[in-house]
Each structure stands twice: as structure tokens, then as C-alpha cells.
Structure 1
Amino acid sequence: MKDYGSEAQCEEALVAARWSHGFECPHCSHKLAYEFRRRELRYWQCKACRHQVSLRAGTMMENSKLPLTTWYLAIYLMTQSKTNIAALAMMRQLGITWKAAWLMKHKLMEAMRQREENQPLQGSVRVDDAYLGGERTGGKAGRGSENKVAEEPCGRDCRI
């Protein structure tokens, strides 16, 4: 909240992340632009080709009416949860509708997937025990079930 507690702080963080080396027109790659506001939103107009771009254009927040503070808090909630956070929990935490929380969650998961897509796991990868098999009636449920088969270690240094 100290770093991203206000809309202005979130805007500055997004500008720094998006154009870390200064503005660059997505249309012609020109470096100079006029900055202006329209209905509370920041825009840049390229001095060369006059192409206009908003701060959110081309991001997962492009057509969202939710404030950036809500988006940044959702990013925090998604990244700090060891287990997946439910859209219902996000709805309660952020004070938004379930539909908005569900869409936001899936946009964030897709962005994380795209970010990690080109970085496959390497080296020795260790996974906690896993039980394979479907449900059968009767017998003990869970870890000690006779109906489940523990996955055997591969016996050598497993690589993906």
C-alpha cells in the first residue's frame, strides 16, 4: 500500500514499467510525444505521426473500468498466494463483482503463462509425492488408499 496505494502511484509505476527508457510510439517508434488527459485517463500523442496511445492500451487492463489500485492489489493477491486464489475470494478482498474478479484472475493467469512460456524448467526438478488413479467405491480414501498407486521415482536424475 505504501508503493501502490493511490491511483497516481500506480500510474507512475505503470509508466516506468511500460516505457522504462522513455516513451516510444507503438506506431512509428518516435521518442517524443505530447502528454494529456482525457476523462481522467493519461494519453500520449506522438509528435511525428500523431498516433495517440493511452497508458493502458496494449495491456491486460486496456478496456477495464476498474482503477489501477484494484489491479495492483489483485496482482499482489495472485502472486502472494501459495495455492491458487479463488475468484470468489478476490471478489471479497477487492470489493468487485464475481464476474469482474473471475475475468481479472484469468487475465492475470494468462499474462503469467505468457511470461513463463519461454523459460522451461531446467536441471533437477523435484516434485512432492503424487497419487494416480481414479475413485473407486469402498476402501480407504486419501493417502493410504489401496485404490491409488504412488508414482515411483524415476531412479535417476529426472529432467524435463
Structure 2
Amino acid sequence: MGCVFGRELATWFLGIYLVTQNKAGISCLTLHRQLGISYNAALRMKHKLMQVMMERDNSWQLSGFVQIDDAYWGGERHGGRRGRGSENKAPFVAAVQTDADNHPIYMKFNAVDNFRRKTIQEWAEHALKKGVRAVSDGLSCFRGIEDAGCQHTAIITGGGHASMENELFTWVNTMLGNVKTAITGTYHKLDPKHLGRYLSEFNYRFNRRFDMPSMISRLGRAAVNTAPMPDRLLKLPDVQWKPG
């Protein structure tokens, strides 16, 4: 009995190592192959660890100067609505905290239900400390940041290369590109209802990137202090902020 438990524990620690040390993420299929466990067991492990990452990073807030942008995951369905109204696009907020030298310090990429002012206010109340100096594009929903008690500057960029070249959005644009490229290259299919967990995986690694070895023990400690996540809860959508 002890040997079986020991093997299971060793498998979990190896799984934690693989999830935390792969910069571009690791798919459930790769976990299944490298750990020698069933695909369904690898799927449960992956989602449980991502849930821990999500809950851990949701417990603290960005401060100082923060670059913010709206983003979507997914493409347009044939015959469906186009642009932001597409039924196949999952919205998320991208936020990057920078220091006085405009270097990126922390990031929060969080799935949201929509881009409405009330939703963004609720997101900001959870994700940003009071008094944060936030900069975003001119999307009207970002006025919710002000409603949450933060300083907010909206800059009309017009989209396209103009927004990409604006140094006030350098790091949020860079991180968006990196994360989308990594997700596309690692996962064959990402269910939009679990986008929040997948984004949290990238948040967790980036925010602890200066001490990669300790990430293993830190995630292990966080896991034992996180409420159990049975299969029925793992299957539910994990959108973090919905309109009140």
C-alpha cells in the first residue's frame, strides 16, 4: 500500500515539474506519454494543477503602473458573426505591471464573460490595487477601472500597427503575442470554457520566472492548501468575472 502511494506521489511531483518548467506549456497528451499514466488521469492532473495556479494568482493584485488590453481566444465560425461579436471567441483581459524602467514585472491574463463596464469594474476590484495607474486603449468598458478606484488613462490608438508601436502598450502586446503563440503551438484544441485555467498557467510561470527551481515546491504547497476539485467541478466553465 505504501509503495503504491509513494509511486502516485512521485508521479504528481514529476507532473508538477513538467507543468512548471515548460515555458510554452505542456499538453495533456504529452503528460500522458511522459508520466506513463492514462490520458484521462493526465487530463485531471493538468486541470487540477492549473486550478491551483489560478486560485493562487487570484489571491494577489497588480500595483504601480499597469498596461491593459482586451483580447480574444478563438476564431470566427463560418457563417457566424464577425469581429468581437463572434460566438467562437472567448474574451480575456491582458494586464502587465511594469517598473520605473518599463520592464515587465508581473502579468494577469484573466478570462471574463464580456467586455462591459460592470464586468471590467469587478475584474479591476479583484486584480488591481487601489491607486494603480492603468493605461488602456479607448474601449469604453475600461472606464470600469476608474469605478474600481484606480487611475486610468485611455489612449485612442486606432488599432493595427499604431497600437503595436505605442511604447505604453509594448509589454502587454508582447506578452499577448507570446502567450497566443505558445498556446497555438502546444495545444491542439483548447476548450474556451477553460481558457481561464490555461491563461493562469502562463501567469503563474511568468510571475515566478526568476526562481524556477522553487516553483515546484511552491506549487506543491499551494496544492495541498487548495480545496479538492472533483471531476464534476473540473468540467464546469472557469470564467472568473461575470457581470453583476
Q: TM-score over 0.5 for the alignment? A: no
Name the larger-Rg structure.
Answer: 1
Q: Which has the higher helix share?
A: 2
| TM value normalised by structure 2 | 0.28
Which structure has more relative contact order (CA 8 Å, sep 6+)? It is 2
